[in-house]
Chain A
Amino acid sequence: MKFLFDKDTWQEIYSSVRKNKLRTGITIIGVMWGIFLLIVLLGAARGMENGFNKLFGDFATNSVFIWAQSTSKPFKGFQEGKRLTLKMSDLQSIKNEIEGLEFVVPRHQSQALAVNNFKSGNFGIFGDFPELDKVSKKNLVYGRFINDNDIKEKKKVCVIEEEIYKQLFDKDEFPIGQYIKINDINYKVVGMYKEGQIGSGGPQGNIHIPFTTFQQVYNRGNTIGWLMITGKPGYDITQIESDVKLLLKNLHKVHPQDNRAFGSFNLGKEIAKVTGFLLGMQFLTWFVGIATLIAGIFAIGNILLITVKERTKEIGIRRALGAKPWEIKRQIILESVFLTSIAGALGIIFGGLALMALDAYNSGEGSVLTNPTVDIPVILIASAILIILGTLIGLIPAQTAVSIRPIEALREE
């Protein structure tokens, strides 16, 4: 190890590099490009993943939405085309009979005209339970979400999205405690939240009122618009989806093979597709990056072979003066490792700068990449691969250097 810290060792490397400045430079660029690509692509892939996570982040990812439609098969004396409606009693049955449920949240949904003084707009209006906040996290800016008391007392309160606030209120007005009119009924605003990029409603934003209030105001009796179901970790959401549907078919006297009676949207499945895509992209990134890296390192091996060939005579002199084969070898291996490390370090630095630039030009709402970064362990792994490959490739010219007998090397002109 002492030889690593010896000034002479580095002087040798310096003089050997200095002799072939241009060639060494170009070779270094090869390896640099490899690691640069690896870092930038990995960072971009991570940025994309972050972007997707931001999109879906507010939703529990193992969720399924279920709603009622019309039957498509006659069953037990009922004609096909029977209209189905989910009831509050279905909710209890589902909770009792299906295993592995985290939350079952019933919702109602409609469109409504909301008015505040002279400002108005058409918005989606939802009847919700407090549990919704757990399934689809609401990022509250002011106030609170609907609570159990609101449900029990069927209070006329509402939680609005920031977008609605912007449309109904003046710029510096504080919304909490104010009243807005929804379909000619006054509701007190108790909370305001900021929506993630994928909301369950339109671009206009949503208004949430207590579920029981919705049922009463819009004459929905004890029905449910649709259900949001979340599975506990470790339970297959697809299995839960089919179990719940089968149970509902049973409760509503629907043919078990009737696929159109209940509609559903499996968020877990959709997210799995995206995750799979991201995984594939990451794999591709590693593959492309490492392949480029290997190409670059072979170039370093190549350049060292040429250098060794050119230095045959010098190596012969050194051996005549008493250099042991190992002393010659380690010098060349170190040179290889040194070149790859320098190239790697430069590549990592430039890759990092490129990611910073990407981030700077691509920030803000609606960007494709969110916070494109590469983890330190990934950098360490890449550096380790680089050094290992550099050592291995250095073995080739090192072996060539000592395979020529000193006497032949000396004769070389």
Chain B
Amino acid sequence: MIKIEKLHKSYPIGNDSLHVLKGLDLHIKEGEFVSIMGSSGSGKSTLLNIVGLLDGHDSGNYYLNGQLIENLDEKKAATLRNKFLGFVFQSFNLISYKNALENVALPLYYKGINRKERQKIALQYLDKVGLKNWANHLPSELSGGQKQRVAIARALVTQPKVVLADEPTGALDSSTSHSVMELLKEINREGMTVFVITHEEDIAAETDRIVRLKDGVIISDEKVIKKATV
């Protein structure tokens, strides 16, 4: 699903440039539940931005769904994001003046689906994350965990190939974190490829595969041995 070969990325800082990703090789197959671990500055956010088509890379190859990503203009990138990717952010990034249902329906608007259909699909996904009764609430009326659930519903609504979650539990307490992870797991069980970025060990431990990143290189890539759920 995601295939990265010798990926390099550096950012210009003044006259110098900061080499953030130093030749990454990563292959994520369809249906995997992968977490990228690393301390801040390890390059994990940069990797997510590149995978999420929010940023370009300098050299190396990136295949998304078998398609080589190169020379993307904003328009193409937007279409691909809409079609293949669903985002879940640490700070939820819901639009404050739209209610939960409208937030979930937004990607469908950009996909060009008509209003009625949008509402129907969005409600279906809100139901899936257990917030059907909160459809008409504004984000400010929801708790952190609920907001993240809305965000997850929004990420899923276009039926993407990959869900990219950037520190999805970073702003949540441990019990809500756990329930959000449970939701992501459930989605994964239904066949969705989920790609989580985190710096928390116990969050990473709930995924199936942990890729550790340090100073722009992968230092380990291992399957998680499933413990019995407590």
Chain A residues within 8 Å of B, Cβ to Cβ: 6-8, 15, 18-19, 313-314, 317-327, 402, 405-407, 410
Residues of A within 8 A of B82 (CB): 321-322
Q: Which residue of the partner chain, among A19, A324, A405, contacts B97 with CB atoms under 8 Å?
A: A19
Contact A322 B75 (CB under 8 A): no
Report Cα–Cα, A297/B154, bound state, in Å.
Answer: 37
Known: A327-B110, A410-B89. A320 touches B75 (CB 8 A): no
- Listed stretches B34-42, B49-57, B216-224; interface member: B49-57
Number of B interface residues at 8 Å Cβ cutoff, please give it. Answer: 26
Contact B74 A325 (CB under 8 A): yes
Could you list 30 examples of A-B contacts with CB < 8 Å? A6-B115, A7-B115, A8-B109, A8-B115, A15-B97, A314-B95, A317-B93, A317-B95, A319-B78, A319-B81, A320-B52, A320-B54, A320-B81, A320-B93, A321-B81, A321-B106, A321-B107, A322-B79, A322-B81, A322-B82, A322-B110, A322-B158, A324-B75, A325-B74, A325-B75, A326-B75, A406-B54, A407-B49, A407-B54, A410-B54
| Residues of B73-111 contacting chain A, CB below 8 A | 74-75, 78-79, 81-83, 87, 89, 93-95, 97-98, 106-107, 109-111
Report Cα–Cα, A321/B154, bound state, in Å.
Answer: 9
Report Cα–Cα, A320/B111, bound state, in Å.
Answer: 13
Closest residue of chain A to B94, judged by CB? Answer: A317
Residues of B within 8 A of A314 (CB): 95
Residues of B within 8 A of A322 (CB): 78-79, 81-83, 107, 110-111, 158
Residues of A within 8 A of B74 (CB): 319, 324-325, 402
Closest residue of chain A to B118, judged by CB? Answer: A8
Residues of B within 8 A of A6 (CB): 115
Measured CB to CB, the closest approach of chain A to B125, in angstroms, equals: 14
Residues of A within 8 A of B78 (CB): 319, 322-325
Residues of A within 8 A of B109 (CB): 8
Closest residue of chain B to A314, judged by CB? Answer: B95
Closest residue of chain A to B97, judged by CB? Answer: A15
Residues of B within 8 A of A7 (CB): 115
Closest residue of chain A to B49, judged by CB? Answer: A407
Q: Which residue of the partner chain, among B79, B98, B106, B154, contacts A324 with CB atoms under 8 Å?
A: B79
Measured CB to CB, the closest approach of chain B to A110, in angstroms, equals: 85
Report Cα–Cα, A406/B83, bound state, in Å.
Answer: 17
Closest residue of chain B to A402, judged by CB? Answer: B74
Report Cα–Cα, A19/B97, bound state, in Å.
Answer: 9
Report Cα–Cα, A324/B106, bound state, in Å.
Answer: 13
Measured CB to CB, the closest approach of chain A to B112, in angstroms, equals: 10
Closest residue of chain A to B75, judged by CB? Answer: A324
Q: A8-B115, A318-B95, A322-B107 are in contact. List 16 more A-B contacts (CB 8 A).
A: A8-B109, A15-B97, A15-B98, A314-B95, A319-B74, A320-B93, A321-B87, A321-B106, A322-B110, A325-B78, A327-B110, A405-B54, A407-B54, A410-B54, A410-B89, A410-B93
